[in-house]
Amino acid sequence: MDINELQYNSMNKYLAGSLLDGVIFTDTNGELVFLNPSAKEMLGLDDERVDINNILDHFFDSRSKPMPERAKIWLKKVLSGKWRFLSKELFLKKPVDLVVKADIQPVMDDEGNILGAATILRDISNEKEIDKMKSEFVSVVSHELKTPLTIIKAAVKTILDGSYGPLNEISEKILKTCSNNINRMERLIDDLLDISKIEAGKIELRCEPVNIKNIADEVVNQLVAKSLEKGIDIDVNVNSSEPISVYADTDKLFQIFNNLIFNGIKFTERGGRVAVNIYDKGDNVEVSVADTGRGIGKEDIPKLFSKFEQFGKKVSGAPKGTGLGLAITKNLVKMHGGDIRVDSSIGRGSTFTFNLPKSKADS
């Protein structure tokens, strides 16, 4: 090693040591190579107790369950080249409670050979506390709105049913418009409550092995009337003759499929098609929901999973939603230890792809 290389390595180590974010370097065997002072402070470790197992023992999930084994699996997949980048939200319990975002990616030489892995820990506790306060406020307001809205809905339905006498054409039209908007308001409140519970960490997953095709088929059966109304074909395809199971919460998995397939139908013109493809990928299962709809502009894709984004409304005649469905979907997928992405452009439809672990250890 020449003097320039020594100076270069020394400078890199100095820069990593100066960062406020925690920096962890591991070699190809997953053994600790370097831990900067910020990471030691976050983890409450001194020089005598620093090894990779000690570090991973400090990692917990949102339900306060220790996750060293899961963290080892993530690290192993990054070091094998199977994953090029992984981002997870972790909880540290000592010396103080922290919420950190952990970004893990391989360290490679000029030829692309993997030399190890770098994990960056960023303290996001303050951001999460602010989000929690906002979510709790939205949750309280939503609950307060739900009761009077239920009363109004019942009253409008009673009048429409003719319980107070026959209605003239204009009155019936006005009341039906009221009823439609009450239903939309009800969906918005339900979605607000869902996203508030997710962001506040108040949703407990009841995971078990679930046949993923059965859930997809169930969702398609429930949406068949809507698809027939628009003349849209829906196919569910699996790349295996054997049943494929994932480790998931059945109700939440249903909600993920329902949001994606419903959107496919909603933004696809009459006579189009929605295809649900399920692939067995070994440790996990990949699902794509592809439609032949109007598509999404490239400039809108980065904001697609944000709350209250409704890109379809820019197109004349597009049906209105709450703007929360995809945000909820992304959060539910992440809670299961998966990821979701989209490939789309105007005029050629959209494909939403997510993956879920097949076993508890991978989630």
CATH number for 244: 3.30.565.10
- What distance in Å separates the CA atoms of residue 322 and residue 179, rounded to the nearest whole number? 16
The residue out of 69, 88, 123 marking a domain boundary is 123
CB distance 301 to 285 below 8 Å: no
CB distance 209 to 245 below 8 Å: yes
Q: pLDDT tens digits for 176-225?
A: 999 988 988 888 888 888 887 887 777 888 999 999 999 999 999 999 99
- What per-residue confidence (pLDDT) applies to 11? 46
DSSP state of 363: -
Token pair 């996750």 is at which residue?
67
The residue out of 68, 102, 123 marking a domain boundary is 123
Quick one: 192 and 217 in the same domain? no
Quick one: 119 and 68 in the same domain? yes
Contacts of 65 (CB under 8 A, 6+ apart): none
Average pLDDT over the chain, rounded to an integer: 84
Which pLDDT band holds residue 288 (cuts at 50, 70, 90)?
Answer: very high
Phi, psi of 256 (to 5 degrees): -60, -50
Quick one: 218 and 343 in the same domain? yes
We report the CATH number of the domain holding residue 144 as 1.10.287
CB distance 101 to 124 below 8 Å: yes
- What per-residue confidence (pLDDT) applies to 157? 93
Which among 329, 341, 344, 184 has a CA at the least distance from the CA of 259? 329
Quick one: 216 and 119 in the same domain? no
Query: Identity (one letter) of the amino acid at 268?
Result: T
Strand partners, 26: 32, 117
Q: Residue 52's domain spans which residues? A: 3-123
- CA atoms within a 13 Å half-sphere pointing along the CA-CB vector of 220: 18
CA–chain centroid gap for 194, Å, is 13
- Residue 225 CB-density burial (10 A; 0-12 exposed, 13-18 middle, 19+ buried): exposed
CA–chain centroid gap for 221, Å, is 24
How many domains is the chain built from?
A: 3
Q: pLDDT tens digits for 12-67?
A: 555 555 678 888 899 998 888 888 888 888 888 876 667 787 788 888 876 677 87
The residue out of 123, 142, 165 marking a domain boundary is 123
Quick one: 188 and 223 in the same domain? no
Is the confidence at residue 314, as pLDDT, over 50? no
Distances 357 to 35, 88, 245, 361 between C-alpha atoms, Å = 30, 15, 9, 8
Q: Which two tokens stand for residue 35?
A: 């831990």
More confident residue, 173 or 96: 173
- What per-residue confidence (pLDDT) applies to 51? 75
Q: Which two tokens stand for residue 296?
A: 């999404």
Quick one: 168 and 237 in the same domain? no
Query: 144-153, 267-276, 281-290: lowest mean pLDDT where?
Result: 144-153
- What distance in Å separates the CA atoms of residue 77 and residue 79, rounded to the nearest whole number? 5
Quick one: 191 and 222 in the same domain? no
